[in-house]
């Protein structure tokens, strides 16, 4: 999709992301609303060491989001988690999700050996597998994982 800019943000204007919340609710996804609520409350701002928030903008409107956190379910500090990936329905199939996750992976390599995530959506499952995530022996509280260290099996 031309003219989509993916950037890391440190201070998100929540009004800019609210249209994604409304769109995601129409699709039956609640996690974008949770992202919004947690960001507003300060519970998760993706602003700690090893964390990041990426947005995709088209014509100054946010059309996608993707967060990176230290995995709160892991006992190991070297495991990161992809959180709250969502791309507006009009911007799907143009590589926006891939670009968001690629940015998260690049940032994660600075802090983590492994990246995990959880999804119960079959389309998301196919997407993550297509970009290199595995479901084989996924850790507890995750459905997919990616080794960020080529010499590791997780």
**pLDDT digit string (tens) for 105-144?**
999 999 999 999 999 999 999 999 999 999 999 988 999 9
> In the chain, where are the structural domains located?
4-147
Percent of the chain with pLDDT over 90: 92
Residues 115, 148 contacting (CB under 8 angstroms): yes
**pLDDT digit string (tens) for 22-41?**
999 999 999 999 999 999 99
| Long-range CB contacts for residues 127-136, cutoff 8 Å, separation at least 24 | 127/97, 127/98, 128/101, 131/98, 131/101, 131/102
**What CATH architecture is 4-147?**
3-Layer(aba) Sandwich (3.40)
């Amino acid at each position: 999709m031309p003219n989509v800019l993916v950037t890391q943000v440190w201070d998100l204007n929540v009004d800019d992301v609210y249209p994604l919340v409304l769109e995601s609710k129409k699709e039956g996804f609640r996690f974008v609303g949770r992202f919004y609520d947690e960001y507003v409350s300060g519970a998760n701002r993706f602003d700690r060491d090893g964390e990041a928030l990426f947005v995709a903008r088209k014509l100054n409107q946010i059309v996608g989001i993707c967060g990176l956190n230290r995995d709160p379910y892991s006992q190991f500090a070297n495991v990161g988690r992809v959180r709250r990936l969502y791309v507006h329905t009009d911007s799907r199939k143009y590589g926006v999700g891939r670009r968001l996750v690629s940015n998260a992976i690049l940032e994660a390599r600075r802090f983590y050996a492994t990246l995990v995530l959880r999804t119960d959506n079959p389309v998301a499952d196919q997407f993550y597998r297509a970009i290199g995530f595995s479901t084989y022996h996924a850790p507890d509280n995750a459905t997919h994982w990616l080794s960020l260290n080529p010499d590791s099996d997780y």
